[in-house]
Amino acid sequence: MKAYVEISKLQKSIDDFQLGPIDLIIEPETITALVGNNGSGKSTLLKLMVNLASSDSGNIKLFNTTVGREDESWKKNVAYLPQNIIGMDAYTGNTLKALIEILYPNWDNALFMELIKLFDVPLDKRFGKLSQGVQQKLNLALTVARNTPLLLLDEPTAFMDIPSKRFFMDILVDWMDKGDRSIILTSHQVEDIKKLSDYLFVLRNGDMIGNFEKENLTENYKRYWLNDQLPNTTIPGEVSRAHLQIVSNNPEVTEIFLQKNKIRWIDRKSLELEEIITLLLTANTSSHYR
């Protein structure tokens, strides 16, 4: 299957912030979470993808068409939900729907109404009068119902209440089950990442740390409690250490080393995804990483 997104050597600097170089491929039927600390460039990356910002160098292809050129055929295949939308306050949900649905040939009105009902969004009130959470729900309905193969969601659940977050996940799962679709989302909600994502694309202060399959992280990060004092040298696979504990992202080589050096461990435990993300995003572990 042809990739939906192909990004190569993408770079962008804004004042003293430098994003990239970034390489990323998004295959059909996948959900990728963009994960990073605040100001790591996640939103900028999404904006670059839909041509709302222009890159300094590198290339973005959506559905085999280069973004930023005359041919804008990719646009009908992408729905983007930004974090903040300006200029909507004066319009009601009904008006916004009418404005958007004519732009997207695959607009699914039944799905839109289903989401509005599920989220209990009043369509006759002006957008500016709605609470942040309800605005977010309306925006999500206006985006998902476009029924494009690629959905880009920037912090879609930040203001949502707990039941709505659950509905949101079920909606996206059902939406994915229709086939030939992919989602890229940014989120600081671990629950979203755990339940929805197949891949984690990790950015730290503009630098690409990597694109990881979720189980590749959760199955490979292990914490060992050792019997004896830690050796002074770095143990193969080691990403952090404290007292008698070490964390490894390559348990196989770590255990071979420990056994060879007759260092016994009394316990071995997998790390939670939160901890793994924290390690990936904490600068002082970078020198040990891979």
Chain residues binding another protein by CB under 8 A are 29-31, 169, 173, 176-177, 194-199, 213-215, 218-219, 268-270
Residue 174 Cβ, how far from another protein at the closest point, in Å? 9
Pick 129 or 268: Cβ nearer another protein = 268
Residue 230 Cβ, how far from another protein at the closest point, in Å? 22
In the block, tokens 């572990």 appear at: 285
- Which burial class, exposed, middle or buried, applies to 210 when counting CB atoms under 10 A from its CB (0-12, 13-18, 19+)? middle
d(CA 229, CA 226): 7
Residue 245 Cβ, how far from another protein at the closest point, in Å? 15
What is the three-class DSSP state of 60? strand
Pick 28 or 82: Cβ nearer another protein = 28
Please report, for residues 164, 211, 233, 235, the alpha-carbon distance to residue 288 in angstroms, rounded to integers and kept in the order given: 40, 18, 12, 10
Pick 218 or 286: Cβ nearer another protein = 218
132-144 vs 93-101: helix axis angle to the nearest 10? 20
Pick 135 or 254: Cβ nearer another protein = 254
Pick 154 or 192: Cβ nearer another protein = 192
Pick 208 or 271: Cβ nearer another protein = 271
Q: What is the dihedral of CA 24, 18, 151, 83, to 10 degrees?
A: 160
Task: Decide: 85 and 156 in contact? Cβ < 8 Å.
Answer: no
Residue 176 Cβ, how far from another protein at the closest point, in Å? 5
Q: How crowded is residue 119: how many other Cβ atoms within 10 Å of its Cβ? A: 20
Residue 248 Cβ, how far from another protein at the closest point, in Å? 14
Containing H/E element for 78?
Answer: strand 78-81
Residue 151 Cβ, how far from another protein at the closest point, in Å? 14
What is the three-class DSSP state of 290? coil
d(CA 144, CA 181): 11
Pick 14 or 173: Cβ nearer another protein = 173
Residue 215 Cβ, how far from another protein at the closest point, in Å? 5
d(CA 37, CA 23): 19
Pick 89 or 252: Cβ nearer another protein = 252
Residue 28 Cβ, how far from another protein at the closest point, in Å? 11
Strand order from edge to edge, sheet including 17-26: 17-26, 5-14, 57-62, 65-66
